[in-house]
Amino acid sequence: MRQKIVAGNWKMNKNAEETEDLLNELIDKLPADVEAQFVVAPTFVNLASAVQHLEFTNIAVAAQNMHQAENGAFTGEISADMLKSIGVETVILGHSERRSYFGETDDIIAKKTDAALKHDMTVIFCFGEELQDRKDNNHFNVVETQLRDGLFHIEDKNWERIILAYEPVWAIGTGETASPDQAQEMHAFIRETVEKKFGSEIAENVSILYGGSVKPDNAKEIFSKPDVDGGLIGGAALKADDFAAIASAI
Ligand code: PGA
């Protein structure tokens, strides 16, 4: 079911104590009267404590990544089953930093998506074009390919556990945001692309988040667009006041 979502991707930030402090602040500061799902994604080592900490709150915990295999000789990796076993039900997959720094291809992301869905997890599926793609006027093609190759093999019934996150790479951590109109234009294209393949009911029901330098001062305008259902927030998710202000803007 389409819903408003504000998710914080903490990336490689916050040790155990800092995680606890930020969670406590978020519990205090996140708006209680807003009809939206809030999500935080701390690092792997702090997920278990975050789940415990946030029990009985309306803040869900997501992992930032996972491996596609069930288990085995994959030194340093974490499986869906491990995440589920500590109460993590959501995972961010395909983030542009995973794609560019860790060589994740659409094919790998497709396999990770399958593994997460097999374990009944919710996937925040990230994708988005690079600056050169936009300069070349190739951004719609790139986005369509990422969707098709990473996600379009899934069964209809699994769409209820998919959240899309459009994150233009040129806007991530750069202070540069897509304009609200650019975000709306791409989100509408994404919904239309989903509709062509899976039909209008699935397309209407999928939540599409925008990510890339969302801040308290631009969140409201971006979130006001009809096809923008919320945000995936990086830098501003590390400060409780900023994240709470963005959450209130939904
Ligand atoms: P940013 O990151 O808000 O710091 O640009 C967004 C993201 O990477 O999800």
Location of structure tokens 């708006």: 31
- In the chain, which residues have pLDDT < 50? none
The one-letter code for the residue type at 19 is: T
Residue 17: predicted pLDDT: 98
Atom of ligand 1 nearest to the CA of 235: 4
**Pocket perturbation via mutation, ligand 1, pick of 5, 167, 170 by most ligand atoms within 8 A of CB:** 167
pLDDT digits (tens, 9 = 90+) for 38-81: 999 999 999 999 999 999 999 999 999 999 999 999 999 999 99
Rounded CA gap, 26 and 197, in Å? 39
Atom of ligand 1 nearest to the CA of 214: 3
Residue 173: predicted pLDDT: 79
The one-letter code for the residue type at 224 is: S
Identify whether the C-beta of residue 14 lies closer than 8 Å to the C-beta of residue 22: yes
Residue 243: predicted pLDDT: 98
The one-letter code for the residue type at 249 is: A
Two tokens, residue 110: 């497709």
Location of structure tokens 């009267």: 33
Question: Is residue 172 within 6 Å of ligand 1 at its C-beta?
Answer: yes
Two tokens, residue 245: 């202000």
Contacts for 102 with CB less than 8 Å, ≥ 6 apart: none
pLDDT digits (tens, 9 = 90+) for 106-135: 999 999 999 999 999 999 999 999 999 999
Q: Residue 168 carries which DSSP code? A: -
Does the annotation count 139 as an active-site position? no
